[in-house]
Amino acid sequence: MDRPSITVPLVRFVGIGGHVEPGESWGEAVLREAREEAGLEVSLVAPEATYLLDDDGTVTDISTMLDWPDCPRPWFIWSGVQSLGRAPQEYAHHLLTAAFSAVVPGDVEPHPLSEMPAIVAISEAHLRRAAEQPVRLGDLLADGAHIWESTAVPRPALLDPAGSARGYAVLLTQHASRA
């Protein structure tokens, strides 16, 4: 007897984030998005350096070249082209994304709000592994990751980093190869 094939969902994950509202600074946007998406009051911290991550995987320290209007400056900036829409109306759109370092005071836990079905806290090693090949959520949880859910995520789901999470994985990989 043939077994039915089981489809395992591929779940793309990103860091907490969003866009800058009119009249808002980048730093203010980060604080607002952390409240809106995770119910967290965070404090931004200055990174040791700011990196530019290009679409081709190149990582460049731009700390001395960056004239950033807000304080603190971002930890990394990703610059790349993303295809939007579907053929025949598909078009390329250049994106510039800034990722910031932040801390959460005390032992406060996140709460996924309206835009987030779940928040998963993983280690840098977990992120690098997922960037190489999607990883089962259940395996990450068994290996020490934590999850807070407003909507249950199937444990067999394969997690694949996208957006700022992919950028962070690239940065970690570049630093590991330089060490």
**Tens digits of residue pLDDT in 157-168:** 999 988 888 888
Does residue 65 lie within any of the structural domains? yes
Beta bridge partners of 83: 92
Does residue 3 lie within any of the structural domains? no
| Percent share of the chain, pLDDT over 70 | 91
Does residue 5 lie within any of the structural domains? no
Per-residue pLDDT of 62-107, as tens digits, reads 999 988 877 789 988 887 776 666 777 777 777 778 889 889 888 8
The pLDDT value recorded for residue 32 is 93
Domain range for 87 is: 10-178
Does residue 170 lie within any of the structural domains? yes
Q: What is the 3-state secondary structure (H, E, C) of 10-47?
A: EEEECCCCCCCCCCCCHHHHHHHHHHHHHCCCCEEECC
Number of domains in the chain: 1
